[in-house]
Amino acid sequence: MRIDKFLKVSRIIKRRSVAKEIADKGRILINGKTAKSSSDVKSNDEITIKFGNKTLTVLVKELLDTTKKDDAQRMYEITSEKYERDFKNE
């Protein structure tokens, strides 16, 4: 499954177009390698996503073509969620 579709179906990112844009800017890693929006994702892959001041790392558990809101959590497990502090305001 393409990374942009996985992120949308799993509801990590709300819109596929946003997932595609983030991936094409080099802000998504699959198993430590920079991913493009067309990169394939498989079970047990580790995905790291850089959102502004937050870095989210998830482990892919299963791939589903469509999900209901309650089932989306089954697709991944959050392994790390880090926030960078804003030192400008100190």
pLDDT digits (tens, 9 = 90+) for 15-37: 999 999 999 999 999 999 999 99
Residues 6+ apart with CB under 8 A from 18: none
Say what the pLDDT of residue 88 is. Answer: 54
Residue 89 three-state SS: helix
pLDDT at 3 over 50: yes
d(C-alpha 15, C-alpha 20), whole Å: 9
- The predicted model scores a pTM of 0.83
Residue 52 three-state SS: coil
Residues 6+ apart with CB under 8 A from 60: 6, 41, 42, 43, 44, 45, 46, 47, 75, 76
> What domains can be seen in the chain, in order of their start residue?
3-84 (3.10.290.10)
